Amino acid sequence: MHSTISARARLHNPRLNKGTAFTSEERERFGLHGLLPPKISTMEEQVTGMLANLRKKNSDIARYCYLASLASRNERLHYRALIDHIEELMPIVYTPTVGQACQQFAYLFREANGFYLSIEQRGRVRETLANWVTTDVRLIVVTDGERILGLGDLGVSGMGIPIGKLELYCACAGIDPAQCLPITLDVGTNNIEFQKDPRYLGHHHGRVRGKAYDEFIEEFILAVQERFPKALLQFEDFATPNAVALLERYRDRLLCFNDDIQGTAAVALAGLIAATRLTGTQLSEMSFLFVGAGSAATGIANLLALAIEREGLSEKEARSRCVLCDSKGVITRSRESLTPHSAPFAADLEPMSYVEAIDAMKPHAIIGATGRGGMFTEEVIKKMMKWHDQPIIFALSNPTSKAECTAEEAYRFSEGRAIFASGSPFKPVEIKGEIKIPGQGNNAYVFPGLGLGVLAAGARRITDSMLIAAAQALADTVTEERLAQGSLYPPLHDIRTVSQQIAIAVARTASAEGLTETEIDAAFSEKMALGMYDPRY
């Protein structure tokens, strides 16, 4: 007796398909004899063959397309390969390759993946969202595509970001892909090239702003709360004014967070905490110069200031340790207009460039979040060297072309003395007979574990204390051996273990703050680990 699902339907369902790994008994039971080659493969053999094919591709974008195609055919094989070969494959499924994939989205698009909500569906968002047949959604990543990585406004072509982020949730923290939903909100695009491109797949008008935009977002949030009441909603790659406003508006109304603001802040704070083990200097004894004043920079500064407060400084003193610079230079109190998110960090300094600010304030760390490549020149790094024997250089912008400096430049210009971290991956660097392994301050070190922790614990909100707990837990996973090699983050191949440790710290903090009814007892971590998605046949 064959299954009620047709043989061909089974082979074309990515969650059911096993390809040549269907056993003889399964081929008989499901009516698959004759539809597959005779050889019965193990999953390990399939992974080996898949990797061999992948490595033959002549570009990372071709490898990206190959992995996307695999996911649409055999989901378990896709995630098995991603989990077991995360260091090789993460740069392909996410940064830096995903940036190119988004830029070319209209030309790479082959089949629907994810959910698209148009602002022209206002008044029908709840009805439209019901078209997603799965109701047990636990994790949503949503973007409006206005600030994709450091690439700007890509509109609906930014869908690659929610898809990629959710792949990392599944691979790095064991979130079941069946419970994940990537969403892109199409409110238009101000990208003139896209507006003129007949193949662009979104609306060809400029971005809708103001009341209409806010009402659309509100309708969307209400629809999510009704349809997916247990879901964690992650805001992703919204432009700074909207990113800040949406987080403030909704963080106390539903389980949500903004990875560009809060995830980036937590991973950067973890790197700075780890760096203190090399410098022997507490955060509260240091000063920090931010080059960039958008959502990422202000998010880091806010969380860092809170961490500094916990070391005994007042709120005013803690904030004064963080100086922000934008395209006009240092953000000072004398400015005629200040944005709400940068105003708390306005400095008591004379107007000056960020290069001049190095001599004026002698920062222990310079943190780049500009989206502009090459900002940390030899002059900048040598100025940092003038004041500190081990200057902390964080070039956090991505993709790689947008990094403020490369790892090689940071080490070469500092004669190997810089403590370096980046947002994009860089290869090890040999300098003065030593091998430096640059740490990548990738948000994937934090957001999967954060999501796992709040979902496993049934947390109702995400707080700053939970983000600090995540940062401290991540910093604690960095071994002395890794620090000696110059890396402020653990190796990626340990990411699932790291995510579990972060999840436990987040869950305990949520419980201590009274934000969960789940008991975080001695058995919690074991139960959580057993519930993690681990793709097998």
Query: Which residue numbers are catalytic?
Result: 94, 165
Tokens at residue 535, please? 């793709």
φ, ψ for residue 96, nearest 5 deg: -95, -10
Task: Give the whole-angstrom CA distance, residue 467 versus residue 447.
Answer: 10
φ, ψ for residue 437, nearest 5 deg: -110, 100
Task: Give the whole-angstrom CA distance, residue 411 versus residue 415.
Answer: 6
Burial class (CB in 10 A: 0-12, 13-18, 19+), 165: buried
Task: Give the whole-angstrom CA distance, residue 204 versus residue 473.
Answer: 45
Tokens 């082979």 sit on residue:
11
- The H helix count followed by the E strand count for the chain is 24, 14
Tokens at residue 55, please? 């490595």
Instruction: Say if CB 358 and CB 380 are below 8 A apart.
Output: yes
Write out the DSSP string of 383-422.
HHHHH-SS-EEEE--SSGGG-SS-HHHHHHHTTT--EEEE
Q: Print the SS3 string covering 89-142.
A: HHHHHCCCHHHHHHHCHHHHCCCCCCEEEEHHHCCCHHHHHCCCCCCCCCEEEE
**Which helix (H) or strand (E) covers residue 235, if one does?**
strand 232-235
3-state helix, strand, coil in the chain (%, to 5): 50, 10, 40
Compute the C-alpha angle 217/221/227, nearest 5°: 140
Task: Give the whole-angstrom CA distance, residue 244 versus residue 265.
Answer: 13
- Residue 470: count other Cβ atoms within 10 Å of its Cβ: 31
Task: Give the whole-angstrom CA distance, residue 512 versus residue 520.
Answer: 9
Strand order of the sheet with strand 288-291?
329-330, 322-326, 288-291, 365-368, 392-395, 419-422, 439-440
Task: Give the whole-angstrom CA distance, residue 384 versus residue 363.
Answer: 7
Instruction: Say if CB 368 and CB 332 are below 8 A apart.
Output: no
Query: Greatest CA span in the chain, whole angstroms?
Result: 82
Tokens at residue 232, please? 């964690």
Nearest by Cα to 501 from 513, 486, 490: 490
- Quote the DSSP letter at residue 6: -
CB under 8 Å to 519, separation ≥6 — which residues?
511
